[in-house]
Structure 1
Amino acid sequence: MHLERIRPTKYRITLHSYELAALISAARWITDGAEGELTREATEQLKDILTAYDTELKRINKPDPNEQST
């Protein structure tokens, strides 16, 4: 996963096809009523995606040392 801030409220996200598939599967599961439990593998994959997202979000929110404040 890779995040880029295009504008203050606009982002570009690059996902591996498996990451996108996991997110879409989770969304379908939820919109279909979310009965039962996700498999352990699906839960782990979603946790990995959330970890990658949090890591990327921290990276893009770090102040740029080359940017001068006014």
Structure 2
Amino acid sequence: MQIEKKQRSIFQITLTGYELATLISSARWIVDGAKGELTSEAMENLKELLINYDIATEKLHSKPPS
């Protein structure tokens, strides 16, 4: 995952297909009423996605302003 600040409140996020699929399937689960529980695999995918997000935002904040 890469995050780039394009303008004051506009960001460009580059995701792998795996990361995008994790986000979309999680959003779909929530919109459909979040019935049942997430599988352990889905939970691990979300945890990995959040770790990647945290790393990408840390890199974004550590870059000097353009």
Counterpart secondary structure, 2:37:
coil
Do the aligned partners of residues 4 and 16 (structure 1) sit closer, same or farther apart at CA in structure 2, a change above 3 Å counting? Answer: same
Displacement over 4 Å in runs of 4+: none
How many residues of Structure 1 are paired with residues of Structure 2 in the alignment? 65
What is the TM-score of this pair, normalised by structure 1?
0.86
Matched, 1:61 2:33: no
Q: How many angstroms apart in 1 are the aligned matches of 2:15 and 2:63?
A: 24
| Alpha-carbon distance between aligned partners in 2 of 1:63 and 1:41, rounded to the nearest angstrom | 33
Give 5+ residue unaligned stretches, structure 1: none
Q: How large is the Cα RMSD of the aligned pairs? A: 1.1
Q: 1:28 to 1:7 in 2, by over 3 A?
A: same
1:46 match: 46
One-letter code aligned to 2:53: Y
Q: Give me the TM-score of the superposition, normalised by structure 2.
A: 0.91
Aligned-pair distance for 1:7?
1.1
More helix by share: 2
